[in-house]
Amino acid sequence: MLSYRHGFHAGNDADVLKHVVLVQLLLHLTKKETPLWVVDTHAGAGIYSLEHGYAARNAEFRNGIGRLWTRGDLPEPVARYVDEVRRVNPDGVLRNYPGSPQLALQLTRAQDRLRLFELHGNEGRALEAQFRDAGRRVAVVAGDGFAGLKAVLPPPSRRGLTLIDPSYETRDDYGAVVAAVTDGRVRFPTGCFAVWYPLLQRREAVRLPETLTRLAGDGDWLHATLQVRAPQDDGFGLHGSGMFVFNPPWKLDAALREALPVLSRLLAQDEHAAHTLRGRAR
């Protein structure tokens, strides 16, 4: 399970979808003065070099953020995300990619708090080094983010965003996501929970959004998918990804309706690229 290194995939199409949604969530949720707690169950290293190491080997970012980097015609939600990536590339050259923790740090305020979990030893040490000077705003926990949710939910301010984004390397991750969401929403029913998952030809991947929809019950939810190519004949490999958001903030759906058609066009790897957006708001 601990063989996974997100650096191989940093900045790819799945990261683009996840982080376009994350940036919009943070922009909306920080409009109120009350402190916001941001919890990331699988935080990774925080920031990734695209010139060296894991990300440079497969260069998956070239079909993700790389396709958006020099464009001047992006819709506002996508352009806002690219602007946040530019903050870790001040010379204008795409050299680094910010993971979810770094984006959260950039978009939160002095009164907000980040709680970052990472079980992988090397990733966790990189995460600690990245946020060593962040002060009391950030706490990095070397441990299981699924288990760690019990200690941080509900947050003292009763305002929070929980990002749940495991690697899904094993089938156990799917059940762990459902259990974490179920327990988390009991502990913190008004909290915003965002679940990232891969589009795979695997039964668990197909059933996960169906299960999450049932868990949402009568509450508000939003489910976005971005497919960039046809599923592979052998059934292996991602052909896209999805984000399922419980208690989404107002206007998130409008932002994604603007962003998703452009992303499916610009990130398409073949003629099977597509997107969906479904949900319910009262």
Does 165 qualify as catalytic in the annotation? yes
Per the residue annotation, which of 13, 15, 112, 165 is the catalytic one? Answer: 165
Nearest to 224 by CA among 202, 254, 204: 254
CA dist., res. 201 & res. 220, Å (int): 28
CA dist., res. 35 & res. 160, Å (int): 8
Which tokens is 278 given? 């479904």
Say what the pLDDT of residue 234 is: 74
Say what the pLDDT of residue 235 is: 66
Query: Where are the strands (E) in 201-273, listed by range?
Result: 221-227, 240-246
Residue with structure tokens 């679940």? Answer: 195
Q: b/e map of 112-146 (b: 16 or more CB within 10 Å)?
A: bbbbbbbbbeebbebbbebbeeeeebbebbeeebb
Residue 52, CA distances (Å) to 48, 88, 95, 97, 98 in order: 9, 15, 9, 12, 15
Say what the pLDDT of residue 5 is: 59
- DSSP tag of 211: H
Residue with structure tokens 């030809």? Answer: 201
Say what the pLDDT of residue 86 is: 98
Q: Is 33 exposed, middle or buried (0-12, 13-18, 19+ CB in 10 A)?
A: exposed
Write down the pTM of the prediction. 0.96
Residue 128, CA distances (Å) to 85, 98, 131 in order: 20, 15, 5
pLDDT (tens place) for every residue of the chain, 282 residues total: 334 456 678 999 999 999 999 999 999 999 999 999 999 999 998 999 999 876 677 889 999 999 999 999 999 999 999 999 999 999 999 999 999 999 999 999 999 999 999 998 888 899 999 999 999 999 999 999 999 999 999 999 999 999 999 999 889 999 999 999 999 999 999 999 999 999 999 899 999 999 999 999 999 999 999 999 999 877 678 999 999 999 999 999 999 999 999 999 999 999 999 999 999 986
To 10 degrees, the CA torsion angle through 173, 166, 219, 227? -100
